[in-house]
Amino acid sequence: MSRAEPRPVTGRSPGMGDMGGMREGHAGTGPGPITPDGCAVRLWERLPVRDEPDVVAAQAPPGGSILELGCGVGRVTRPLVERGFAVTAVDESAEMLARAARVPGARTVQGTIEDLDLGETFDVVVLGSFLVHTGDAGLRQRLLDTCRRHVRPGGRVLVQREGDGWHRDVPRESPLGESGRLRVASSEPVGDGVSSVHVEYVFPDATWTQTFLSRPLTTEAFERALAAAGLAVDAYLTDDGTWARARLAAR
């Protein structure tokens, strides 16, 4: 990936939970449960945590409330709770959420992000895992609407986005933890501005693969999408531009 340091790639796709078959355009292989978007639960349990907790913590008031959308197995949830934040962790996958629920002090909610309406607001809302790049533009807007609906006035929405050249610089490979390798094998256009991405995670004792659909977004297109949801980007928080901060747009 074209980032300052290698990060796990995911095609986490909202909208199905662990029910039904594999989501159209998505696939996954490897040991253990595979969610309908192709994510391997056991893989996510072993992926290293990078700077995500630092990025989020720097934007939240001490002891503040954080809504983590698409929490997976709780890799980011745990360090945030350990730093004293009140974290509500949401995921559609029961398999994923069962792991996140093991974090002492975390509140967990199972459900699709686009349909979430908790009737409360938070200091910080986090939409990570590149979910903003879902191939379905209508679904993307619903995800962002959820962010807007749950951020308090004066609060912050943090969105993780793909880096520049992410779909061009393939194939590419980078270290993953102490013994793994991450290989982005291909990113092929499939029409309507959407690409099919194939990723391999290779460890000495196991290999997982995932194929998912992703819609590349220029900075301008990304900011327009947030604006359409009533959010205004006011800062990019990392040198590679993969974490953006937004606030409620002025009315």
Task: Check whether 75 has a pLDDT greater than 60.
Answer: yes
Dihedral in degrees, nearest 10, Cα atoms 107, 108, 114, 118? -40
Task: Check whether 179 has a pLDDT greater than 80.
Answer: yes
Task: Check whether 205 has a pLDDT greater than 50.
Answer: yes
CA distance 145 to 141: 6
Name which residue leads in pLDDT, 168 or 101.
Answer: 101
Neighbour tally for 117: CB within 10 Å: 10
Map out the domains of the chain with their CATH numbers: 36-163+218-248 (3.40.50.150)
User: What is the average per-residue pLDDT within 19-47?
Assistant: 90
pLDDT of res. 251 = 76
User: What is the average per-residue pLDDT within 134-156?
Assistant: 97
CA distance 85 to 83: 6
State the DSSP code for 113: G
Q: What is the pTM of this model?
A: 0.91
